Each structure stands twice: as C-alpha cells, then as structure tokens.
Amino acid sequence: MESQTLPETRDDEQSPYSVAHDVAGMKIVFVNVFFVGEPRPGADWVLVDAGLQSTAGRIRREAARLFGENNPPKAIVLTHGHFDHVGALPELLKDWNVPVYAHPLELPYLTGKSNYPPPDPAVGGGAMAYMSWIFPTGAPNLGDKVKPMPEGEIPEMPGWQVIHTPGHAPGHVSLYRDSDRVLIAGDAFTTTDQNSAFAVMTQKEEFHGPPAYFTIDWQASKESIWKLAELNPTAVGTGHGKSFRGVQLGMRLRTLAENFEEQEVPTGGRYVKQAAQTDEDGIVDMPAPVSYTVARTIGIGLLAGTAAFLIGRLIQDNTEGFGREVKREGRKLRRRLG
C-alpha cells in the first residue's frame, strides 16, 4: 500500500483547506470550517463547525457560492464547542432553522449549564498559549436548538462515522468516511503549531496534538490520536492548519502518537498531571490552578505589541494614502496648467 502514487498535496481547486471534491474547507482568521456536500446549486450539504463570532456573513457567502442561494444546510455538526468553533452559530441560526448536533458531553457548554474548564496559559509554547487567558470559556446558549449527536452516524451525513475523540474537549468528535478514508479531525490534532502565533500566521505545515492551552486531558488526547491513526486515513481536514492528503498521512499520525508524550505534552500546566473531570452536566472536578503570572505578563506584552503593530500599520496606511492623494492632486493641477 505504501508504494501507491497518490499525490501528497494540501491544495485543490478550491482552497488549501479543502479535503475532497465534496468537502470544501475555509479558513476564518485562524480556524477552519467545512462544507460537506456536492458543490452544485440545490445540493444537500452539512456545515461542520461555525468559526468565530461575527463571521456568519463569510460562511453564508461561501455556502451560496458552493450550493446556491437560499439553500441552507441540512444540519450543523460541531466537533466541539470552543469559542472559535461555534462563534457564528447564533447569527447563522437566525436565518437557518436547522438542527445542530453535538456530542452529549459537549451539551452543558452549549446550553448554559456550565462553562468550559479554563484555558491553561502555563503550558507555554508560543504566543497563542500565552494569550489564551483572555479566550472565552463560555459558549452560546443554544437551548433546544442543539441536539445530542447519535452514535455511529448522523442522519444528515450518510456514510460518515462519528468518532468520539476526547482530550481537547470532553465531547470532542471527529468524522470519518470509510468509502474514501476522508477524515474531519476537528482539534483532535492539528497540521500547524497552533500554540505559535507565527505558525498560525504562516500556516507552516507541522503535525501536532491539539491546541495545548485548551486541552484538559492529555492521556485521552493521545488515545484519540491513536484511534484516528488506526483508521489509516488518506485525507484530513483539521480545525487548524491546511488539509493534508496522501498515503503518508496514517504514518505521520502514528509517529505523532508514538512521540506524543515527549513532543506534545507540556512540562508544566494545570492539566498535565491531572485531567479535568467532567460529565453530561459539565465540570465535576478540576486540578488546582497553577501560577501563570509569567505567562500572563508575556501575554499582556504580546497583546500590547500586537496593538502597537496594528496602530502603526493603520497610521502608515493612512499616511501613505494621504501621500498618494497629494501626488494625484498635484498631477491633476499640472495637467490643468498645461
């Protein structure tokens, strides 16, 4: 099997985030959403995850491009409920009266019963981790709009298997289609270093575990990656990073699982030695917090630096724009004067 000559590429005719001809991916700032269905007007389709707040318009426009105007999805399926995967849901549901599915262990965080266990800036490893203390742990209260995900297969996604892959979140799931070995992994693992702001900006390809700052059970995370590696997928879309296709995918997942403790598990952090305990009502017990004064100080510095950079760029853009306007007016004046 390893001698097959399948192309190992992350690009297709749609975007580097698309996984198959009927699994289109789109990056929204630093997180991906997926549109599952034949790309033609009027086709049935399903949205997997819902990105960041205030991005519903982008999702609707891409859906219209792929499946035609006024053609809502048959369902919205959530790999988990972290803020960057559900942010646009309330706005989307104003127009789309469709079921939302999540694993039963995610429901307390989507129905107002519980907040997520807090992020862990003490894991270090990059700017995203250091700034994670400001990330929200609440999710939209969807009430009865969200349904518990059935075991095995979702009715609106025939041919796709639901696989419980906890660790990053209690009810995290991945979706797998056995017919062509296509995987939508959510945040069970990533194809870029999501802890690093530089990697997030450049989307440099690296196989890693889930974003460390929100992972609450490292042993479960390792077991979930093994579970996905044993499927031997040949194409994957993840919540963070570009898609990956090729016969080496299964091998890279096995390598990630084999080296997980040495390469992925942080040396320090709240959930490293003891996982958070949760059930279908939310948080049951959590390890005591560890000091992240240094991480928070670094995070504040990074936030200030980012703000200064953005303000500087704005001033530069405005100054350059003013300069261009002066030059244009000067050219107009010279033409009038002959």
DSSP 65-104: HHH-TT---SEEE-S---HHHHTTHHHHHHH----EEE-G
Shared domain for 282 and 178, answered yes or no, is: yes
Q: Are residues 162 and 92 in the same domain?
A: yes
Task: Find tokens 């200064």 and name the residue.
Answer: 308
Q: For the residues 134-155, what does the mean pLDDT come to?
A: 88
Query: CB-based contacts of 239: which residues, under 8 Å, 6+ apart?
Result: 31, 32, 49, 79, 84, 85, 185, 186, 187, 190
Phi, psi of 163 (to 5 degrees): -120, 120
What is the distance between the alpha carbons of residues 86 and 194, in angstroms, rounded to a whole number?
Answer: 18
Report DSSP state, residue 123: G
pTM above 0.85, yes or no: no
Do 225 and 171 reside in the same domain of the chain? yes
Place of tokens 């048959």: 74
Same domain, 151 and 217: yes
29 and 150 in a common domain: yes
Q: Quick one: 195 and 335 in the same domain?
A: no
Q: What is the mean pLDDT of residues 211-226?
A: 96
- Has residue 292 got a pLDDT over 90? no
- Separation CA 65–CA 189 (nearest Å): 29
Q: Is 322 found in the same domain as 185?
A: no
13 lies in a domain?
no
- φ, ψ dihedrals at 164, nearest 5°: -70, 120
In the predicted structure, residue 57 carries a pLDDT above the cut 60: yes
Within a domain: 261: yes
9: in domain: no
Residue 296: per-residue pLDDT: 52
Residues 306, 221: one domain? no
- The mean of the pLDDT values for the chain is 85
281 shares its domain with 140: yes
Q: Are residues 261 and 152 in the same domain?
A: yes
The reply to whether 144 and 184 lie within a common domain is yes
Q: What is the pLDDT of residues 248-278, one digit of tens each?
A: 999 999 999 999 999 999 988 899 999 999 9
Domain boundary among 290, 305, 324: 290
Cα→Cα distances 110→60, 253, 266, 289, Å: 22, 30, 28, 24
In the predicted model, is pLDDT for residue 82 greater than 60?
Answer: yes
Residues 6+ apart with CB under 8 A from 195: 123, 125, 126, 128, 129, 208, 211, 212, 213
Closest to 112 (Cα-Cα) out of 92, 137, 95:
137
What average pLDDT does range 174-194 have in this prediction?
A: 97
Question: What mean pLDDT is predicted for residues 7-23?
Answer: 71
Q: Do 222 and 254 contact (CB within 8 A), yes or no?
A: no
In a domain, 4, yes or no: no
Same domain? For 175 and 263 the reply is: yes
How many domains is the chain built from?
Answer: 2
What range does the domain containing 309 cover? 292-338
